[in-house]
Amino acid sequence: MKTTAYQQAFILHFGEMGSRWGINRTIGQIYALLYISPRPLNAEQITEALGISRSNTSMAMKELSAWQLVRVQHLPDDRRDYFTAPDDVWEIFRTLVAERRRREIEPTASMLRGALVAPPEQGDDAHAARKLAEMLELIELVTGWLDDVSDMDQRTATQLMKLGGGVQKLLGAGRRKKETPRA
Amino acid sequence: MKTTAYQQAFILHFGEMGSRWGINRTIGQIYALLYISPRPLNAEQITEALGISRSNTSMAMKELSAWQLVRVQHLPDDRRDYFTAPDDVWEIFRTLVAERRRREIEPTASMLRGALVAPPEQGDDAHAARKLAEMLELIELVTGWLDDVSDMDQRTATQLMKLGGGVQKLLGAGRRKKETPRA
DNA sequence: CAGTCTTTTCAGTAATTATTGAAATTATAC
DNA sequence: GTATAATTTCAATAATTACTGAAAAGACTG
């Protein structure tokens, strides 16, 4: 596997952004490589294309599998694992949202629910409990909404997003704060 | 500043989640502390409450300010800086979305735009360019939508989110994939 | 089941990120 | 101006996370 300069730029960018996205450089690069690759790649090809160790590739693939961001497939008369990223960006997006929700939000929601089972009623703890309740309410509102959007097919979701602020008209309210028409 | 066991649990959780959220433990803890505190706190109080160094507090406040997640205020006859988190969770949420967008998505969108100025038209690079274009299209759709939602007032946004999948009826489409009614 | 190919594990090391303490800077008071 | 309080900077160190190489484990072949 050799990569062109054009591909390199994209792969290196994903590597650099990796740390901001909570994944490491290797994982970012591998995902970028798979995403633009027109064919499935095996671990050896990935290792060679990125100049990393075989074991690093193995660990990264495990992590990407845990995120459900890659698929494994096999070719006839070849027992190596071949990896692909899903073709459809919308599907990738849904997976990302679901996984980030599970890892970054759900543990907190769960902790908040626990803390609110028997909320203190006096003093600063009571104030804290009210703030926790506000946070949980917002989390549940937003995650519920994300679930709903994830269940939509791409066409509907696209239509909804393009509607943008115009959705307020449909809601029948004159509460618009700022006019932001979209295509 | 002393914290109760009830407050501690929340603060420690935010510290632990910090690494998943792309901030460090100290920043997570400080934000949790400020969020539930019924009054503004100065750096010394934060330092004492969390058992960290004064310089660590200073650097963390700088970072939180960069995220626009805290406000500084002053008390009469006291020249120390007092910090608060915004009262309104909705406002905090909007800030988080805006900042994450700016740091985690915008650089990539910008790179993609650059790569698509003169997209290659042959071979694997052409395939890569098509995938880049798909990614950019999705990013622009989603970030545009986030902008629109951010511009809504809380009441409208809440109404919209509670509507959930029901929004499809308003769109006049029978393309519902799965029925998920919400309060 | 011995041999070969492939993948995984993991201890050690490298690289990165977080935290501290001391010194420097800034701001205010006298 | 000097003294004092508050905050920031930054080099050193601690802690964490990423990566490698070697060895082990697993999977298939003949």
B49-104 tens-digit pLDDT? 999 999 999 999 999 999 999 999 999 999 999 999 999 999 999 999 999 999 99
What pLDDT score was predicted for residue B172? 67
A156 CA → C19 C1’, Å: 49
Rounded distance between C-alpha atoms, residue A57 and residue A53, angstroms? 7
Rounded distance between C-alpha atoms, residue B108 and residue A28, angstroms? 12
Rounded distance between C-alpha atoms, residue A118 and residue A113, angstroms? 10
Residue B183 pLDDT > 50: no
Nearest to B120 among A6, A142, A148 (CB): A6
Rounded distance between C-alpha atoms, residue B151 and residue A179, angstroms? 9
- Inter-chain CB pairs, A–B, below 8 Å: 175
Assess A9–B contact: CB distance below 8 Å, yes or no. Answer: yes
Alpha carbon of B108: minimum distance to chain A alpha carbons (Å): 8
Query: At A164, is the secondary structure helix, strand, or coil?
Result: helix
In B, which residues are within 8 Å of A135 by CB distance?
A: 35, 89
What pLDDT score was predicted for residue A172? 67
Over residues A26-37, the mean pLDDT reads: 98
B16 CA → D16 C1’, Å: 13
Assess A180–B contact: CB distance below 8 Å, yes or no. Answer: yes
Chain-chain contact of A132 with B162 (C-beta, under 8 angstroms): no
With CA atoms as reference, the chain A residue closest to B124 would be A38
DSSP label at residue B103: I
Assess B170–A contact: CB distance below 8 Å, yes or no. Answer: yes
Rounded distance between C-alpha atoms, residue A10 and residue B108, angstroms? 9
Nearest to B156 among A129, A151, A171 (CB): A171
Phi, psi of B15 (to 5 degrees): -60, -45
Chain-chain contact of A36 with B182 (C-beta, under 8 angstroms): no
Phi, psi of A41 (to 5 degrees): -125, 145
pLDDT tens-place string over residues A104-163? 999 999 999 999 999 999 999 999 999 999 999 999 999 999 888 888 888 888 988 888
CATH code 1.10.10.10 for A5-84: yes
Rounded distance between C-alpha atoms, residue B86 and residue B95, angstroms? 10
With CA atoms as reference, the chain A residue closest to B132 would be A36
Mutate one of B106, B151, B179 to test the A interface: name it (highest A CB count within 10 A).
B151
What pLDDT score was predicted for residue A149? 87
In A, which residues are within 8 Å of B162 by CB distance?
A: 141
Chain-chain contact of B6 with A135 (C-beta, under 8 angstroms): no
Question: In this structure, how many other beta carbons lie within 10 angstroms of the beta carbon of residue B122?
Answer: 7
β pairing state of B41-42 and A71-75: unpaired
Residue A176 pLDDT > 80: no
Query: At B71, is the secondary structure helix, strand, or coil?
Result: strand
Rounded distance between C-alpha atoms, residue B114 and residue A153, angstroms? 30
Domain boundaries, chain B: 5-84, 89-156
The strand ranges marked E within chain A are 41-42, 71-75, 78-84
Q: What is the mean pLDDT of chain A?
A: 91
User: Is there a contact between B127 and A36 (Cβ–Cβ < 8 Å)?
Assistant: yes
pLDDT tens-place string over residues B7-49? 999 999 999 999 899 999 999 999 999 999 999 999 999 999 9
In B, which residues are within 8 Å of A115 by CB distance?
A: 6, 9-10
pLDDT tens-place string over residues B132-174? 999 999 999 999 998 888 888 888 889 888 887 787 777 764 4
B56 CA → C18 C1’, Å: 9
With CA atoms as reference, the chain B residue closest to A182 would be B144
With CA atoms as reference, the chain A residue closest to B179 would be A151
What pLDDT score was predicted for residue A183? 42
Rounded distance between C-alpha atoms, residue B102 and residue B106, angstroms? 5
**Interface list for A 46-105 with B (CB within 8 A):** 89-90, 93, 103-104
Chain-chain contact of A156 with B162 (C-beta, under 8 angstroms): no
A58 touches strand C (CB under 7 A): yes
Residue A169 pLDDT > 60: yes
Confidence category of residue B178, pLDDT binned at 50, 70, 90: very low
Alpha carbon of A140: minimum distance to chain B alpha carbons (Å): 10
